[in-house]
Amino acid sequence: IVLTGGDDRLWKTWGFPDGNILLTGEGHTDWLSGCCFRPSGTQLVTSSADTTVRIWDLSRRGCVLTLRGHSRAVRGCSWHSCGDFVASASADGTSKIWDVNSERCRYTLRGHEESVNSIEFLPFSSTVLTSSADKTLSLWDVRTGLRVYTFQGHVHSCNHATFN
């Protein structure tokens, strides 16, 4: 299954390799910037310029949780490999670690000077990686909410970062 999110404010799941649309989700009020399956495959998370992060249940075919707390567009989202936490990156210069079970923000990660453009968990760890328009990447310990390391060297905005 392929998952996509678009400027049309929708997410879609597509059969692979035939390309048939399986499900479509609507509810965001602005463009989608990110989407990611829960490791179990039963839910997904989306991020949007409407400042929200939403959790969707595929069997219910609807949004089961809307996470609010960013003041500007949410630029990306990621699901932790355990399935209990979601991370979001925002144009407001912060990232958030959300506890899906308690439905609350566990930490707000502050330290980038401009928009945080992407966020990704290192699988099976308590480390998250952010990239920013301030030309840096940062590693964070999500158990404490503290920045562990900053990578510098880009001469323009860092738009995405990932682990191998």
Pair type for strands 32-37 and 21-26: unpaired
Q: What single DSSP character describes residue 127?
A: E
H/E element, 117: strand 116-121
Which distant-in-sequence residues (6+ apart) come within 8 Å of 67 by Cβ? 52, 53, 54, 55, 86, 88, 96, 98, 103, 105
**Helix (H) and strand (E) counts for the chain?**
0, 15
Residue 109 one-letter amino acid = L
Alpha helices in 51-97 (DSSP H): none
* Cis before 17 (ω within 30): yes
DSSP string covering 63-75: EEEEEE--SS-EE
Burial grade of 113 (CB within 10 A; 0-12, 13-18, 19 or more): exposed
pTM of the model: 0.95
Protein fold of 2-152: Methylamine Dehydrogenase; Chain H (2.130.10)
Domain range summary for the chain, segments of one domain joined by + = 2-152
105-164 pLDDT, tens per residue? 999 999 999 999 999 999 999 999 999 999 999 999 999 999 999 999 999 999 999 999
70-121 pLDDT, tens per residue? 999 999 999 999 999 999 999 999 999 999 999 999 999 999 999 999 999 9
